[in-house]
Amino acid sequence: MFGSWFRRRSSANGAANGSYSHGNDHLIELREVLKVYETAAGKFTALKSVDLEIGRGEFVAIIGKSGSGKSTLLNMITGIDRPTSGEVLVGDTAVHTLSEGQMAPWRGRNLGIIFQFFQLLPALSIVENVMLPMDFCGMYAPRERRERAMALLEQVGMAQNAHKLPAAVSGGQQQRVAIARALANDPPILIADEPTGNLDSKTAESVFRMFEQLVDQGKTILMVTHDQDLARRVTRTVIIADGEVIDEYLAKALPMLSEDQQIWATHNLETLSYPPGAAIIHEGTPPDNFYIITKGRVEVVLQQSSGSEIVVATMGVGQYFGEIALLRGGTHNATVRAGFDTGVAVVVLDRDEFGRLITESPTTREAIDQIAAQRAAENLAARHASEEVVPHA
């Protein structure tokens, strides 16, 4: 839909080998970003040593309660505000080091920002609003700017309203114009702060589909939203609580935990990777860890008395394993290995950390125990069924 107007620029997209001039391997990286505000009531820490990596072409939803730090996080990336300490790297630019004079043109060329309340200039026509970023940054020849603006308005279904003032069209139509304006300079990154918050559900769905098409064409989008339905449809979710980033896989696997418990657990997670076919836990061994899958798949394998094996289940991203022996004691009743075609990445809590969480959250223990009971029964049934069809010597 938007592809004919894309012009990829190496300055924003990094070198051919995928690395950038400041050593970052991702399009956006925040490294130990701390933001402290001085208020009449004293110091307020809005972001607490946040680390975040976002790659090219990701569609990321940023979610969290009011006051959790979502807007501050966006302000770090856009350069609207500066970190108290830490680094903000976007492509080949160390954003936190830019002067005020450097910041505005850098932002105009590399970021398209879409606001909840549209922020269209009321005295300019719709087409003039879309041309404004090109005029400000000196992008494209003057004779091309109106043509480009009209083409973008055509893409968002607003060309017929090009010469109207913003007040003459609906809120949903103004948001479409805001998207066209954000694309004016063909930035690699779009930042959307509650872009559907003031739209009806039908218009919000239409705007979201535009975002999906833009991601398909190579854009990277960060979207703050309170809409859980939309958040579930993006490629990745960043959850902010009390100025910290909570591990999204932990939050999805154990949603009954309180925010404080999720923050504590996130700090204690270890990340591990296993090559295709590697055994992660072995049948008959004592339990060690609670595992949540973040990439790839695992196979749950039972050993038969004949010496052969059967695969009784396959699990993927967001699912967990290792819980049966941790809850019930004894040894593991199955082997779990990385998928032969994918390998697997996991985040891990050791048995003591897992024990602390389920002690502090009885509802979490109850939910995990129900799944553990179901899995144990399925494993037992599969073992009995396999032994019935295998003749004994």
Question: What does the domain layout of the chain look like in residue ranges?
Answer: 56-78+95-246, 257-389
CA 123 – CA 203 distance, rounded (Å): 25
d(CA 334, CA 332): 6
> What is the rounded CA–CA span in Å between residue 338 and residue 291?
12
Tokens 């109106």 -> residue? 146
Residue with tokens 């090109």: 134
| The pLDDT of residue 388 | 60
- The rounded distance, in Å, linking the Cα atoms of 125 and 390 is 78
Give domain 56-78+95-246's CATH number out of 2.30.30.170, 2.102.10.10, 3.40.50.300, 3.30.70.260. 3.40.50.300
Query: The pTM is what?
Result: 0.80
Interatomic CA distance for residues 334 and 300, integer angstroms: 7
Same CATH topology for 56-78+95-246 and 257-389? no
Cβ proximity of 287 and 332 under 8 Å: yes
CA atoms of 90 and 77, how far apart (whole Å): 7
Collapsing DSSP to helix, strand or coil, 320 comes out as strand
pLDDT score of 18: 57
Q: Which residues contact 255 (CB under 8 A, 6 or more apart)?
A: none
User: DSSP letter string over 53-84?
Assistant: EE-TT-EEEEE--TTSSHHHHHHHHHTSS--S
Residue 210 corresponds to which tokens in the numbers above? Answer: 């535009």
- β-strand pairing of 279-281 with 335-338: antiparallel
Measure CA of the first residue to CA of the last residue in the chain; give whole Å: 66
Cα–Cα distance list, 139 to 15, 110, 209, 254, 308 (Å): 22, 12, 27, 48, 67
Residue 294 and residue 298: Cα distance in Å, rounded?
11
| CA atoms of 14 and 22, how far apart (whole Å) | 10
Digit-by-digit pLDDT tens for the chain (393 residues) are 544 444 444 345 454 455 788 888 899 999 999 999 998 889 999 999 999 999 999 999 999 888 899 989 999 999 999 999 999 999 999 999 999 889 988 998 899 988 877 789 999 999 999 999 999 888 889 889 999 999 999 988 899 999 999 999 988 888 889 989 999 998 999 998 888 777 778 878 888 888 898 899 899 999 988 877 778 888 889 999 999 999 999 999 999 999 899 999 999 999 999 999 999 999 999 999 999 999 999 999 988 777 778 888 999 999 999 999 999 888 998 999 999 988 999 999 999 999 999 999 999 999 999 999 998 888 888 777 766 654 544
Per-residue pLDDT at 137: 86
Nearest to 109 by CA among 148, 79, 138: 138
Q: Which amino acid does the sequence have at 278? A: A
Give the Cα-Cα-Cα angle 316, 317, 323 (nearest 5 degrees): 75
Q: How many angstroms separate the Cα of 206 from the Cα of each of 59, 68, 156, 157, 200?
A: 16, 28, 10, 11, 10
Contact 68, 80 (CB under 8 A): no
Contact 174, 120 (CB under 8 A): yes
Structure letter (DSSP) for residue 336: E
Helix (H, G, I), strand (E, B) or coil at 193: strand
Classify domain 257-389 by CATH number: 2.60.120.10
SS3 189: strand
